[in-house]
C-alpha cells in the first residue's frame, strides 16, 4: 500500500512539473550589430497605430548579412521550418520560421529568416538559425519575435523591456516570455 501511494505521489509531481511554465530571458537576435533595433511593437508602426501586430520586429537595415539567432537564453529545441530566401521587399509565401514549444501551451516564434547552413532543427543556446531575411509577408529584412499561448498572441512578455527604437543586439534583454 505504501509503495503504491508513493508511486502515485511521484507520478503526480512529474506530471505537474512537466506542465509548469517559467519565464526565460529573451535577448536580441542579431549579435554584434550596433544598428539592430526594435522597428515595430504591438501595433504595426512605431509612430502610429495601424492595426494589431502583437510582436516585436527587430531589424538592422541589412538582408542576408547577419545571423538571426535564437532569442531564448538557455538550451532549447528549436524547430526550424525553412528553405527560402527573400530580400526583395515583396511578400512571398510561405515564411521561414523557428519555434520552441514550452509548457502550458506556450510557444515562442521567430519569423522571416533566410535559409542557410545553420537552418536546421536543433537543441542549442542562442545559436544561429538562419540569416536576417524577409520571407513570408515581410516588406523588409527583420526578425519577427512572437509569443503565443494556445494560439493566442501575448505581448506582455516584452512590456517594460523595450520600446520602439530600442537597441536590440545580442546583449540587450528584449523581454521574458513564459516557456
In a domain, 15, yes or no: no
Q: What CATH number is given to the structural domain containing 34?
A: 2.70.70.10
In a domain, 28, yes or no: yes
CA pair distance 41, 145, nearest whole angstrom: 10
Q: Decide if pLDDT at 46 tops 70.
A: no
This prediction's pTM = 0.84
CA pair distance 109, 157, nearest whole angstrom: 13
In a domain, 166, yes or no: yes
Number of domains in the chain: 1
CA pair distance 28, 33, nearest whole angstrom: 10
How much helix, strand and coil, in percent to the nearest 5, is found in the chain?
Answer: 10, 35, 50
In a domain, 128, yes or no: yes
pLDDT tens digits, residue range 79-129?
A: 999 988 888 767 777 899 999 999 999 999 999 999 999 999 999 999 999
In a domain, 13, yes or no: no
Note down the domain range covering 74: 23-175
Amino acid at each position: 500500500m505504501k509503495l503504491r501511494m508513493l508511486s502515485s505521489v511521484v507520478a503526480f509531481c512529474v506530471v505537474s512539473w512537466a506542465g509548469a511554465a517559467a519565464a526565460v530571458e529573451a535577448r536580441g537576435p542579431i549579435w554584434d550589430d550596433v544598428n539592430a533595433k526594435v522597428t515595430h511593437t504591438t501595433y504595426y508602426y512605431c509612430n502610429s497605430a495601424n492595426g494589431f501586430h502583437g510582436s516585436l520586429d527587430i531589424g538592422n537595415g541589412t538582408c542576408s548579412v547577419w545571423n538571426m539567432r535564437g532569442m531564448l537564453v538557455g538550451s532549447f529545441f528549436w524547430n526550424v521550418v525553412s528553405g527560402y530566401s527573400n530580400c526583395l521587399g515583396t511578400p512571398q509565401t510561405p515564411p521561414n520560421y523557428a519555434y520552441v514549444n514550452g509548457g502550458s501551451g506556450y510557444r515562442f516564434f521567430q519569423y522571416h529568416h533566410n535559409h542557410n547552413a545553420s537552418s536546421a532543427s536543433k537543441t542549442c543556446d542562442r545559436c544561429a538559425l538562419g540569416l536576417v531575411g524577409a520571407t513570408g509577408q515581410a516588406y523588409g529584412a527583420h526578425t519577427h519575435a512572437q509569443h503565443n499561448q494556445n494560439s493566442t498572441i501575448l505581448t506582455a512578455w516584452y512590456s517594460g523591456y523595450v520600446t520602439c527604437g530600442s537597441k536590440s543586439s545580442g546583449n540587450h534583454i528584449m523581454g521574458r516570455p513564459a516557456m
